[in-house]
Homo-oligomer: A and B are copies of this chain.
Amino acid sequence: MKRYLETIKREEAIKVISSFASPIEEEETIPTWDSVGRITSRAVYARFSSPAFICAAMDGYAVDFKDTLDADVNNPLTISKNNAFYVNTGDPLPKGTNAVIMIEDIEELSSSIIIRRPVYLWQNIRMIGEDIIESDMVIPKNHLITPYDMGMIISAGIKEINVRRRPRLLIIPTGKELIDIFDKNGILLKKGHLIDFNSYTIMKLAQKIGFETKRHGIIREKKELEEIFNNLIEEFDVIIINAGTSSGTEDYTEEIIRKKGKIIFHGVSMMPGKPTIFGIVKEKFVFGIPGYPVSATLSFKMFLEPLYERLTGVKRFYEEEEVITAFKIPSRIGIEEIIRVNIVSKDNSYFAIPLPRGASIFSSMARADGLIFIPENVEGFDEGEKIKCTLLKSRPYLKKRINLIGSHDIVLDILRDIIRERYSEYDFMATPTGSLSGIIALKRGITSLCTTHILDEVEKIYNIPLIKKYLNDTPCILINLAKRIQGLIVQKGNPKRIKGIEDLIREDIVFVNRQFGSGTRILFDTILKEKGIKKLDIKGYDREEASHTAVAIMVKESIADVAMGIFSVAKIFSLDFIPLGEEDFDLLVSKDFYHDEKFKMLMEIIESDEFKQRLLYIGGYKVSDTGKIKFEQ
């Protein structure tokens, strides 16, 4: 069995990679109009001055300034059109003239003009080389060309420009289990098949920074991979093999690189992304990057982006911002951890809320607003710590976005969809943390909005008792989003004949639970207590999932027999449902935000027929109280 003998630190790994790389010296000569985004391979010098001759800066009459000296308001001066010549802006000055009188300052007659003030030498004239002077260095070497640069280079009369050849990258997806959904044969997603999306994601990330890319078809056998090294390596500067970098029986990436060239390192002390391999084969850079999608993209970002900089001579810059941790973020000592976060912009602070850490949870990469790095000698961050965060989204976007923390419901997806449909400038991010964390975040001022559905055991009322207890000093308003029907989700046809919550202690029944702090979990625990059922008697009570849909799919796939959840989700998955009651899915808003323009927009949507109709269409919701204020303090 193979294991990592030793790992290298991330910063060290970048240095090692850089030590093998230098800018690609091959040049391409391309038309200037096609040079945006390319990098100059040598300084660019102006061929012509811009403008290339003296010309009129205004529409008007070109004259010799000496002919105008006697004009004043009380003594209008007449100049013959033999000595004054009409020019449009940009026209060259006629011989003998050296100033232009603006058309607005002239009274025009058929063969002469009348003026009421003199012009001075060179007035309203554009000088030769006013913008660019012949033989000036317009752009230095190793410069990334912008559209403005391109315009300037063209204006200097330069038709063709020398740029560095783009680094060429080959991406090879490997794995017996992979399928390509873009294959002509269509999708055959059988048990054991995995859709290859890493190679496409990396291809697009690579193209975005400037690599010329080729994605190879999926490689399913070791032999095929060997052949690529024999045949294709000459054509590329960099090769990425994804994946086969771990210690499984089919992980042959290291073996092949070693056979064809040299392994420089295998294993980086970072998570996700640890099983990264770097090697040199025939002076080309070869990477083996992990199979888990988050690991694969982070490995690309951490190592291939710096390599690109080395190969082109141009550094790329990343935006960083100081963020405050909204919750405690624990981390293991001994390995650097890279955490995806959502960022809530509030007042003048940015709060970071950690997203799911699993290397396989790629959706959290798409959702992420930033990355934070927990060094290997740090046991994580406490809540309220100020730390650096690499931004993946722009600050103005984050400042405009409406953020919500709390309980998850499809209602929130619909809300977002309608917001995006109606308002180009607003986006909406609901970070699912469960009801209780949402309320705590609102109390701490991290969010202005949370969703909650927590039943008070004693009063049998949703949310209000809890708000009074936890948020007694926080001015806020509670608004109903929808009433949801909660119950037991069971398999289609209810094969285990579950009739109620009492059946959950049966030996043949496996349950799947919701996470601690979620409203559904609190409701479930309340019912158990009422009925006198012991938690430990329920098999699967300790298996927690973070959303309604997550537990429903487990029932659908017969991994569990029953879960507690809402009707709408049971309906989507064609599962059976045993209603246990109605609950209030409420929106809690801090009072200062209630009067904000953004919230008014949100309320308009919540009160709209479109929103209510879409909820009713899904089913399992009642909208009789939707948009109503239930409580205010």
Contact = CB atoms under 8 A, between A and B. Distances in A.
A361 B317 contact: no
A601 B194 CA distance: 51
A549 interface: yes
A607 interface: no
Interface in A162-200: 175, 177, 181-182, 187, 189, 191-195, 197-198, 200
A137 B413 CA distance: 7
Contacts of A19: none
A33 B200 contact: yes
Nearest to A313: B424
Contact of A549 (B1, B129, B198, B400): B129
A615 interface: no
A594 interface: no
Interface in A233-274: 246-251
B103 A59 contact: no
A271 to B, nearest CB: 14
Contacts of A149: 366
A319 interface: yes
Identify which of A48, A140, A187 gathers the most chain B CB atoms within 10 Å of its CB: A140
A310 B410 CA distance: 28
Contacts of A572: 135
Contact of A90 (B247, B291, B416): B291
Interface stretch (A389-397, A475-483, A488-496): A389-397
A553 to B, nearest CB: 4
A91 interface: yes
Nearest to A410: B137
Interface residues of A, number: 133
Nearest to A510: B121
A171 to B, nearest CB: 12
A88 interface: yes
B151 A59 contact: no
Given A143-B420, A151-B366, A248 B201 contact: no
A31 interface: yes
Contacts of A313: 420-421, 424
Contact of A52 (B189, B309, B552): B189
B194 A51 contact: yes
A159 B182 contact: yes
A297 B151 contact: yes
Contact of A177 (B90, B131, B573): B90
B130 A249 contact: no
A315 B424 contact: yes
A205 interface: yes
A201 B148 contact: yes
A126 B554 CA distance: 11
A374 interface: no
Contacts of A310: 424
A534 interface: no
10 contacts: A50-B362, A52-B193, A53-B557, A59-B249, A92-B192, A103-B247, A134-B553, A135-B572, A140-B420, A142-B421
